[in-house]
Amino acid sequence: MIGVTTLDEFIIKNQEDFPFSEGELSRLLRDIGLAAKLVHREVTRAGLVKDILGNTGEINVQGEEVQKLDKYANRSFVSALRLGGECAGVASEENENFIPTTDLQPQSAKYIAAIDPLDGSSNIDVNISVGTIFSIYRRISDPNMKCIVEDFLQKGSAQVAAGYVVYGSSTMLVYTTGNGVNGFTLDPSIGEFCLSHEHIQIPKQGDQYSVNHGNLIRFPKGVQEYISYCTSSDPDTNRPYSMRYVGSMVADIHRTLLKGGIFMYPSTDLSPQGKLRLLYECNPLSLIVEQAGGRSIDGSDRILDIQPRELHQRTPIYLGSEYMVNRLENFLNNVG
């Protein structure tokens, strides 16, 4: 299309962003784009086709009910990454262990991927936005051998690319390779993701906060005090802030990225280590938010500096507009 830049064209044009690659990362990102189109097709048919909605009766490694679309999305992304030839292994939120791909390709593949195939899938039955989150690292193991778990247990700061797909009123793919954040909207008429949000920058200050208020009594005291601050009246700082919470992390982060604000998923007395997964959710979304000019912390430390110990490690997380995260940090340090 004249005047429109597609995802493939953008990736090729910006190949110089990763000079250590000889095209493999570009092809890997295009494989992810293809799988996203397949999942988009099924999500948009969710109310029309039998055997798409509802749960399977299975429980995944996270202790959560597996939705039928969870299985489809997981199969689509894992298959695309295995068959694409550029990924030595895939770790998925849906699988207990990572999946080596050397049975289908040469062992010399340079990259590994971590994915949350369908974030917020319990919302699909009620037509609320869901999403996919992905993260890509250069493997650190011997390229002539199968990948190992240490390839996946790298700090988030080592990511070479990260992104998400939000399936909502339109389907958007947002990603970074460490040189800013760009968004692409799927044009169903041509079946292509087209550049629609170039050089995304999160506002330094927002007027919205996103948190599950139902757990307020279980949050750390500093978080409770910050929420009280958000809901108190002060015209000089545009308070009270509006509370917006979808319950699908991708949707909440997408809104926060474009509009400004803060997203919070604190620890509770029932989940002292937090609930969200470091590898599959927190690291990739933190890289995106930081690349857009925001901040992401676990309460005391930068999320991207956390050394993972296991594939399904959990963490508290607070991310969004810089000034709002700074203010929250003050409350957590009892200086607010």
Name the CATH topology of 7-197: Fructose-1,6-Bisphosphatase; Chain A, domain 1 (3.30.540)
Q: Where are the domains of the chain?
A: 7-197, 208-332
- Place 121 in a pLDDT band, splitting at 50, 70 and 90: confident
Across 235-250, average pLDDT: 92
* b/e burial code for range 93-126 (CB count within 10 A of at least 16 → b): bbbeebbbbeeeeeeebbbbbbbbbbbbbbbbee
Among 186, 181, 56, 204, smallest CA distance to 122 is for 56
pLDDT digits (tens, 9 = 90+) for 11-59: 888 876 665 555 788 888 889 999 999 999 888 876 545 455 555 555 6
Tell me the per-residue pLDDT of 165-192, one tens digit each, with 9 for 90 and over: 999 889 999 999 999 999 999 999 999 9
**pTM of the complete model:** 0.92
Rounded to an integer, the average pLDDT of 99-128 is 79
Report pLDDT digits (tens) over 269-327.
999 999 999 999 999 999 999 999 999 999 999 999 999 999 999 999 999 999 999 99
The CATH number fitting domain 208-332, selected from 3.40.190.10, 1.20.90.10, 3.40.190.80, 3.60.15.10: 3.40.190.80
